[in-house]
Amino acid sequence: MPTASKFRAAKGTACAIAIGLALVLGPGVARATEDLVVKYDQSELVQLPRPAAQIIVGNPSIADISVKSDKLLVVTGKTFGITNIIILDAQNNIIANQRVLVRRDEAKVVNLQRGVNRQSYNCTPQCNPSITVGDETGYFDSISKASQNKIGFSERSAEPGANAGPGATPNQ
């Protein structure tokens, strides 16, 4: 059974290690112990303890950062993979050095596998085609084209004076 003196010695050692790490790392340096997990085609908010002056993204093709304010960032997953972000203050002190993992959102996703060809569907609650990097090329291209056509139709319909369809009356 540990004695009180052994407990105090262990506690003292832990405090010494913590103080030593604080001196080595410097004040306010954020060392992430876990990855920031961002889902593909989705975003996560990152709150900073102090204003950022410079943001470095290891691989901007994997994740992108939008600055909402000097203390609030939006990290968006662009494609699958691992990268990192380094955030510096005005004096070039490290605010954060964070690994970012972009992964697929598996919730309510169904993959139809036909040999080596994959098609993705988002089932919430009805299954609809959803394109994801790695889907079979013909399927990906077909769904992508249909999606672009729908976006174009919606944009044209929203233009002032556009005919919204049969029997539509202009907005006044």
> Tokens 């593909």 — which residue?
40
Give dist(CA 171, CA 164) in Å, integer: 10
Give dist(CA 47, CA 124) in Å, integer: 30
What pLDDT does residue 4 have? 46
- CATH number for domain 26-103, candidates 3.90.1150.10, 1.20.120.450, 2.60.40.1080, 3.40.1280.10: 2.60.40.1080
**pLDDT greater at residue 38 or residue 147:** 38
Q: How many CA atoms lie within 13 A of 160 on its CB side?
A: 1
Mean pLDDT, the chain, whole residue set: 79
Domain ranges in the chain are 26-103, 109-154
Instruction: Name the band, by pLDDT with cuts 50, 70 and 90, for residue 131.
Output: confident
Secondary structure letter of residue 109 according to DSSP = E
Give dist(CA 136, CA 119) in Å, integer: 6
Instruction: Name the band, by pLDDT with cuts 50, 70 and 90, for residue 101.
Output: very high
What pLDDT does residue 56 have? 96
Helices and strands: H and E segment counts in the chain: 2, 11
108's tokens: 């309510």
pLDDT tens digits, one per residue of 53-69: 999 999 999 999 999 99
pLDDT tens digits, one per residue of 14-34: 343 333 333 333 444 444 568
